[in-house]
């Protein structure tokens, strides 16, 4: 038991500072996907990965941080109560609040914010009411083709860029992959002609991939975020019928 305790103490003393050594001078930023959201984690100083960033108010943002002022939390809780701060491109000195015993420090897990910036695709088609067979139907979604955000976390400016890929299932077995959002007639690229009348469920799978930049270094965000949108449509036939000739009289 005593040996075990010594081993644990040895590991705690020597491994933790070594692992966190790179995060003292500059913050360690991780961006990844989790449960359909993008999570940005920032870590500065020693200790476990922090979802909350609390530091003594330094006069300059790059000063070394005193270790004891960081309050580690065993299980980070994602909270939407406090809105993360969105900064502009001009970098201003970060004003930090001194950690108090009441611990009212703001959460720096930015997953909530990034969930907000990934919109769910709405689908539209033209003609919207009973499109005909053998006539192209135009489809489009209202998703922006590039989502960029600048977020400040533990004193570092993180720029996240996300691009959607659209995978259209037209309901009759035809699939179309594109980076474009499409549009109504006549400019839309996403169009499909149905051969048979019937009810079809249009399915659009929007998958996001992207990269983030911290201190000039750009890294691809691992994983993907996918969302599915569905639009039911009824395609009808317009049969031609012979009729008696129409005579126009003056």
Partner 1 sequence: MSTHEIDSIAALPLATDISWMAEIETFWVATDSEELNDLQRDGATAVIDLAAEFEAGKGLENSDLRARVIGRMSDIQVRDFALGSHNADSAGWYWKMWRELLVTAPCGFIAPIASVFAALAYELGDSALAQRALDRALADDAHYSLAILLRRVFSAGWPAESFSAMRRDLHPKVVTVIFG
Binding site for partner 1 (CB under 8 A): 165, 167, 173-180, 189, 205, 209
Check if the beta carbon of residue 137 is closer than 8 Å to that of residue 193: yes
- 3-state DSSP of 171-220: CCCCEEEECCCECCCCCCCCEECCCCCEEEEEEEEEEEEEEEEECCEEEE
CB of 190 to partner 1, least distance (A): 11
Sequence-distant contacts of 17-25: CB under 8 A, at least 24 apart: 17/46, 20/45, 20/46, 20/47, 24/64, 24/65, 25/62, 25/64
Residue nearer to partner 1 on the CB measure, 157 or 190: 190
Residues 6 or more apart whose Cβ sits within 8 Å of residue 245: none
- Paired sense of beta strands 156-169 and 175-178, if any: antiparallel
CB of 195 to partner 1, least distance (A): 12
Residue 103 in tokens: 């611990």
Residue 100 in tokens: 């108090």
Residue nearer to partner 1 on the CB measure, 37 or 165: 165
Residue nearer to partner 1 on the CB measure, 133 or 205: 205
CB of 192 to partner 1, least distance (A): 10
Residue nearer to partner 1 on the CB measure, 165 or 213: 165
CB of 219 to partner 1, least distance (A): 13
CB of 205 to partner 1, least distance (A): 8
Q: In angstroms, what is the C-alpha Rg of the chain?
A: 27
CB of 167 to partner 1, least distance (A): 5
Nearest to 180 by CA among 162, 202, 165, 197: 165
Residue nearer to partner 1 on the CB measure, 37 or 207: 207
Residue nearer to partner 1 on the CB measure, 69 or 193: 193
Check if the beta carbon of residue 93 is closer than 8 Å to that of residue 62: no
């Amino acid at each position: 038991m005593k040996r075990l305790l010594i081993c644990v103490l040895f590991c705690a003393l020597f491994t933790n500072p070594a692992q966190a050594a790179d995060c003292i001078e500059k913050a360690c930023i991780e961006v990844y996907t989790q449960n359909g959201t993008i999570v940005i984690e920032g870590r500065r100083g020693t200790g476990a990965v922090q979802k909350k960033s609390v530091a003594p108010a330094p006069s300059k943002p790059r000063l070394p941080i005193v270790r004891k002022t960081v309050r580690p939390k065993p299980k980070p809780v994602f909270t939407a109560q406090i809105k993360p701060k969105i900064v502009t491109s001009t970098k201003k000195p970060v004003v930090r609040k001194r950690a108090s015993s009441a611990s009212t420090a703001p959460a720096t897990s930015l997953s909530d914010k990034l969930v907000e910036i990934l919109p769910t695709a709405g689908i539209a088609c033209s003609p919207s009411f009973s499109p005909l067979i053998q006539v192209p139907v135009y489809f489009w979604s209202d998703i922006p083709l590039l989502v960029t955000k600048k977020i400040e976390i533990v004193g570092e400016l993180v720029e996240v860029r996300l691009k959607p890929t659209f995978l259209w299932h037209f309901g009759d077995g035809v699939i179309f992959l594109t980076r474009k959002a499409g549009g109504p007639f006549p400019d839309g690229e996403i169009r499909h002609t149905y051969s048979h009348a019937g009810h079809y469920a249009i399915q659009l799978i929007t998958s996001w991939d992207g990269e983030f930049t911290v201190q000039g270094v750009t890294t691809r965000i691992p994983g993907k975020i996918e969302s599915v949108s569905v639009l039911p449509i009824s395609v009808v036939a317009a049969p031609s019928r012979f009729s008696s000739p129409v005579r126009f009289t003056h």
